[in-house]
Structure 1
Amino acid sequence: MNWLLVIAGAMAGAPLRYLTDRVVQSRHDAVFPWGTFVVNVAGCLVLGVLTGAVPDERWRLLLGTGLCGALTTYSTFSYETLRLAEDGARGYAALNAVASVVCGTGAAFTGVALGRTVWG
């Protein structure tokens, strides 16, 4: 039954990722992959809040594994970073790699603290 929760969350997370990426990227006329950056950092924040606030495993499966798992995308982040480097935008590639890790980790820590403070 747990797998159904993961599927349900992913059914919302995947289209949310695509739509958010398209909206964010359309507002930035830049080489930098802002859409992927935003969904990954937002997913880290949401997962952090869940980790800090939600003890129920079913909610973590639905929202953490399902929704956040489909919302965030390491493969697209890796591909876009590689593409930037191959296209000669090595500075943007390095910025994407460093900023994604730093901001994603910071968002996760912030989310845990927020989750514990508000709901914990």
Structure 2
Amino acid sequence: MWMNVALVGAGGFAGAVLRYYISKKMAERFQTDFPYGTLTINLTGSFLLGLLIGANPGAAVLLLAGTGFMGAFTTFSTLKLESLTLARKSLFGAFIGYLGATYTLGIVLAYVGYYIGRAL
């Protein structure tokens, strides 16, 4: 039990730190209202989680990398907050594009990752 908690915690720590770093770097680079950082993180996370599940690495790796790292790296709450912010600023094209890209490409990338993982 405690080993599982430690695996999830270690993965979660690493995922949260990397998400913060990437988000800040992308915000500095693009300096726009569009949330490129969160979009990149969530799409990358969709692909990587699909890859991980497809590879079927075992329970410990799934706890560390899937539940811990990917759970903290990707962010549903920030997606919703940034979507609301775009809508409140009347940036409706960006709002629709952001949600459309996140959900459509996220599903596609998860499937691609899964099938690549199965092939490994």
TM range (shorter): over 0.9
| Among candidates 40, 65, 70, match of residue 68 of structure 1 | 70
| 5+ long unaligned stretches in structure 1 | none
| 5+ long unaligned stretches in structure 2 | none
The aligned counterpart of 2:91 is 89
Aligned-pair distance for 1:103?
A: 1.0
The amino acid across from 2:50 in the alignment is G
Aligned-pair distance for 1:81?
A: 0.3
CA RMSD of aligned residues (A): 0.9
Query: Once structures 1 and 2 are overlaid, which stretch shifts more, 29-38 or 78-87?
Result: 29-38
| Among candidates 11, 35, 38, match of residue 36 of structure 1 | 38
The amino acid across from 1:25 in the alignment is A
The amino acid across from 2:4 in the alignment is N
Q: Partner of 1:27: helix, strand, or coil?
A: helix
Identity %: 40
| TM-score of the aligned structures, taking structure 1 as reference length | 0.94
The aligned counterpart of 1:110 is 112
Runs of 4 or more consecutive aligned structure 1 residues displaced over 2 Å after TM superposition: none
| TM-score of the aligned structures, taking structure 2 as reference length | 0.94
The aligned counterpart of 1:101 is 103
The amino acid across from 1:59 in the alignment is V
Aligned-pair distance for 1:52?
A: 0.4
